[in-house]
Amino acid sequence: MNILHLDSAITGDASVSRKLTADIVAKLKASHPNASVTYRDLAKGVPAIDGTWVEATRGTAGDASSAHATVVATSDAYLKEVQDADVLVIGMPIYNFAIGAPLKSWIDQIARTGISFRYTEAGPEGLLTGKRAIVAYSASGTPIGSELDHASAYIRFILGFFGITDVEFVAADRLVFDRDASLARASADLEKLAA
């Protein structure tokens, strides 16, 4: 088993989602001692896509410059980690009712036509199939699945768009109101996960 462990919280050691992702990975490793783990801290910086990225990844720039090569190499590295993974463990703290910029930038980096998805006459087809995603959802006051939550449906949709349809959540979602109860619910979600 290959595990891709992604954290994206900007709050460092105080992050609940980072604790949850670590617990999820530990549970997976306990059941699969030989599993390999690739770790990436997205909060350390994921380049935002821009015009150069579009030119470089779509081959519309004519002669490729060293800047284009660097942009493609960065995007390819993120994609290879996903392609090689059997399980993605994604830390998704909620900021202002949605996913944070580091995670969104990572999604933008791996959204590559012909690699992570393609368009067919029948509609879009995800190309990153056969993978499982476990999302550690943490929020001060945004209950998962509520009308305030603009993150969980989006992450389920975009992963499905890429072909990753087995998506589960471990949620600590009302931390500011009742931290202990929120963490207890997350712990119960974690216990229910098949390792």
Burial 73-109 (b: 16+ CB within 10 A, else e): eebbebbebbbebebbbbbbbbbeebbbebbbbbbbb
Q: Which neighbouring-strand residues pair with 136? A: 91, 170
15 is in an annotated binding site: yes
Three-state SS at 119: strand
Q: Which neighbouring-strand residues pair with 41? A: 7
138 is in an annotated binding site: no
Cβ(81)–Cβ(38) under 8 Å? Answer: yes
Residue 94, H or E segment = strand 87-95
Q: Rounded distance, CA 113 to CA 125, Å?
A: 10
182 is in an annotated binding site: no
Token pair for 57:
């990844």
Task: Give the residue numbers of the binding site for FMN.
Answer: 15-17
Q: Point out the annotated binding site.
A: 15-17
